[in-house]
Amino acid sequence: MSDNQISSRRAAGILLHLTSLPGPWGIGDLGPEAENFLDFLRESGQNCWQFLPLGPTLAIHGHSPYMSTSAFAGNPLLISPDNLLRDGWIAAADLADRPDFYQYLVRFPEVSDYKGKILAQACARFHATARKPEAFSRFSADNLWLENYTLYAALSEKFAGRPWFEWPDEIARRHPEALKRAAAALDERIIFHKFVQFLFAEQWREFKEKAQERNIKLIGDVPIYVALDSADVWAHQDCFQIDPETLRPEFVAGVPPDYFSETGQIWGNPLYHWGTPEKPNFTVIHWWQRRLRRLAELVDIIRIDHFRGFEAYWQIPAEAETAAAGGWVKGPGAGFFDKVAETLKDLPIIAEDLGTITPEVEKLKDDFGFAGMKVLQFAFDGNPENPYLPWNFTSGNNVVYSGTHDNETTVGWYLDENVAEKAKAQARQAANSNGSNIHLDFIRMAYSSIAALAIIPLQDVLGFGSDCRMNHPGSVERNWAWRCAPRFITGEIGRMLREMTAFYNR
């Protein structure tokens, strides 16, 4: 597993979720603007494009990509109407009533309604013209996860979006005859959801090929947990700590008090039923193998979110008011990665090792050769031994970030009155700067470090403030919605990045 090094040479990339791309459809997608951004990356000397998880999202969770209804399916909102038109799945008349979408934020209800209508029109044409029947049949046969996901999606519609554990008991508990009757009754909607996933797969394949043509590596994100109301938990209840009587978890996932929250965070995800080192639950292991294999089909590098949860995870009573009521429980550790080693092979892994990190977590990461993360916004606390200070990096097998999707933008951090002036002064001293272009200072510090890979959020490349932040941990207000207008992604910005990457040999 020591071959999982993140990069054989110094490299650089940008963090930008696909939904944040510009474009006329209210949300970024896999269409022309994705190809334009690949061109921007190539022309600006970048090697990697990192984005957030790709699964379908739920309004009840604020469309967080970390609370998806499936660890295997693609988000239908990422399907490009432009490409559907080009490929003959819809007609120009189908797009004639496009709303005048707001371009700076994703307004998810409007986008979901509009794209749902477009996808329904594409599916109607699929039925009417019988185009690509062999490709669709092959896709359906090759992706066994589709059966559970599409039945879950159809049932969720039938029961008006109620979570699976509130469905009729025989369906919630997956009695075979009840599932067979439901599948027969919902056949039309099941085919629709399969077709939508087929479209996503077709557009993603083209997108990945275009990235490969430009020598851009795609970095995908795998959340350690899945949403309670998801096809995964419904279909694999024996993998999760679910009370067999109530079908609800007694304990849920989260994190203790940390940098982001004084009381910690309750995420609400069900915890895995890992078993014990002596008697591991191989059902969970096999599910994870399939999950990693699926993501490896889509991307070149995988970032494992909340990696420390494999060594020990924070278990919170489901009825607790704050995460502070939780406690640490030993995770599956090295035994898990030994068992999925064949699935990973030489796939580069970024272990999100932020938060409460112990020597045991570091050992687990290092023993398998996974790259760690270094976030510059965490560096300036006055401690000369702070591990996030660039001169304290002890290994090149790291990915350095100015900030992540959970952080304030760098300009927002610098202007935040809650950030100690002492921290800002230390950052200025580290950069030998007056702070007037603090975002560029952070990029230079990241690029000049020994980390093999430097990833900068696009908001920091552009010097944007706090109104462009992607996520506020512990809050559901205005998260995941930021979009970049096309006028900001300029040749001048590309030249600046190209000169910096060349200067720092990235």
Kindly list the averaged pLDDT for each block of 10 residues, start to end, along the chain of length 506.
67 98 97 98 98 95 94 98 96 95 95 97 91 90 97 98 97 98 98 97 98 98 96 97 95 87 90 91 95 96 96 96 95 94 87 89 94 97 95 95 97 96 97 97 98 98 97 84 96 97 98
**CB distance 170 to 182 below 8 Å:** no
**CB distance 456 to 401 below 8 Å:** yes
User: In sequence order, which ranges of 306-369 are alpha helices (DSSP H)?
Assistant: 334-339, 341-344, 359-367
**CB distance 480 to 63 below 8 Å:** yes
- Residue appearing with tokens 């092959």: 138
Cβ neighbours of residue 317 under 8 Å, at least 6 residues apart? 250, 251, 325, 326
Of 108, 228, 53, 168, which is closest to residue 481 (Cα–Cα)?
Answer: 108
- Give the pLDDT of residue 4: 60
- Give the pLDDT of residue 43: 97
- pLDDT digit string (tens) for 58-72? 998 899 999 999 999
CA distance 472 to 407: 8
- pLDDT digit string (tens) for 58-115? 998 899 999 999 999 999 999 999 999 999 999 999 999 999 999 999 999 999 999 9
The helix-helix angle for 187-213 and 176-185 (nearest 10°) equals 80
Q: What is the DSSP letter of 408?
A: P
**CB distance 476 to 423 below 8 Å:** no
Give 172-230 as a DSSP string: HTT-HHHHHHHHHHTHHHHHHHHHHHHHHHHHHHHHHHHHHHTTPEEEEEE-SS--SSS
Residues carrying an active site annotation: 305, 352, 406
- Give the pLDDT of residue 2: 42
Of 482, 505, 498, which is closest to residue 22 (Cα–Cα)?
Answer: 482
Architecture of domain 11-503: Alpha-Beta Barrel (3.20)
- Give the pLDDT of residue 147: 97
